[in-house]
Amino acid sequence: MNYKKIGKKIADKRILLGITQEELAEKVDSSANYISNIETGIKSGSLMFYIKVANELKLSLDFLFSDELPNLDTSKATNKEITEMIDILNKDEKQMANIFIKNIVKGLIELRENSK
């Protein structure tokens, strides 16, 4: 993963919103130094950290990681495959996956409707 690109997206949006690193750190239970390290790509955060930051900055995770998403073979996107992937998750991970999937489906439907 290119953590510098991810960090730059976070920094750009934070600056656009007029939020300091200190303010963002306080909102996501972190430190300004850690936020700085994330924004410069020196460190990477946990998934939970990125969720908190994305929520605070009104960013989607797919936007943050968009350069990192692989090209997908859509012929393999079956319900069975999706179910098998979800089945290996624990309860908390399933709840997070549920939120992600709902947001992805909503976004895909909006894209489809806007392209008509």
Of 84, 109, 87, 86, nearest to 99 (Cα)?
Answer: 86
What is the structure's pLDDT at 106? 82
The CATH class of 3-58 is mainly alpha
What is the structure's pLDDT at 78? 73
What is the structure's pLDDT at 63? 85
Per-residue pLDDT tens listing for the chain (116 residues): 789 999 999 999 999 999 999 999 999 999 999 999 999 999 999 988 999 999 999 988 888 887 755 555 556 667 777 888 888 888 888 888 888 888 888 877 877 777 66
Q: Are 39 and 106 in contact (CB under 8 A)?
A: no
What is the structure's pLDDT at 98? 86
What is the structure's pLDDT at 115? 67
The b/e string for 38-48 (b: 16+ C-beta within 10 A; e otherwise) is bbeeeeebeee
Give pTM, 2 decimals: 0.60
What is the structure's pLDDT at 101? 86
What is the structure's pLDDT at 28? 96
| Domain boundaries along the sequence of the chain | 3-58, 74-114
